[in-house]
Amino acid sequence: MNKQFDKPKIERAVRMILEAIGEDPDRDGLRDTPARVARVYAEIVGGGDTDPRHALRTSFKEDHHEIVLVKDIAFYSMCEHHLLPFFGKAHVGYIPNGKIVGISKLARVVEAFARRPQVQERMTSQIADLIEEMLGAEGVAVVIEGIHTCMTMRGVKKPGATVITSAMRGDFRKRITSRTEIMALIYGKSMSA
């Protein structure tokens, strides 16, 4: 949770929303709702435990210059335009240039960027840019598939619509063969039975 996170202020704000929609915030079912919502907000948009940079601080020297890909990283975030959840899967790949990181760290980067008010487009670029910067990777590819509840449960109400964003850096941007290879790894047949 980041330092400016002010739980009592969220509690007051939620109480006001309840009043504004004509509810009695002191009735049984709602009495603890402001406090509960404040805890939810701390968890889902409180910035997570760490700065995304912390996840990539420890790297290992390794002479591997081929694709490393972590597929299907589940994430939950909050659309900053409507304060409604969007969620889905992130696929994060890179081509190391002498430095690798523990593969779980890539999932931590996704999580850290998801836990704030976001737009999927920016989150995709932020993940790619940070990995490129901190690992000096020869290439970075990030593909995110998101379901936006601001689009499925309200507005145009299109359940099932998925938003796909991608950010390609270095080799994946320059070389179509690298890009084709990573897309085949992401969307091709799974190797497991």
Residues that bind Zn ion (CB under 5 A): 79, 81-82, 150
120 catalytic residue (yes or no): yes
DSSP conformation class of 171 = H
Q: Which residue among the candidates 11, 79, 118, 132 is catalytic per the annotation? A: 79
Which residue, 134 or 150, has its beta carbon nearer to Zn ion? 150
d(Cα 146, Cα 4) in Å, to the nearest integer?
28
80 catalytic residue (yes or no): yes
Q: Three-state SS string across 12-61, please?
A: HHHHHHHHHCCCCCCCHHHCCHHHHHHHHHHHHHCCCCCCHHHHCCCCEE
Count the neighbouring beta carbons within 10 Å of the beta carbon of residue 55: 23
- The minimum distance between CB 154 and Zn ion, in angstroms, equals 9
- The minimum distance between CB 82 and Zn ion, in angstroms, equals 4
Which residue, 59 or 165, has its beta carbon nearer to Zn ion? 165
54 catalytic residue (yes or no): no
- The minimum distance between CB 158 and Zn ion, in angstroms, equals 13
64 catalytic residue (yes or no): no
148 catalytic residue (yes or no): yes
Which residue, 39 or 81, has its beta carbon nearer to Zn ion? 81
Beta strands in the chain (DSSP E): 60-61, 68-79, 84-95, 99-100, 117-118, 139-148, 163-170
Which residues does the annotation mark as catalytic? 79-82, 120, 148, 150
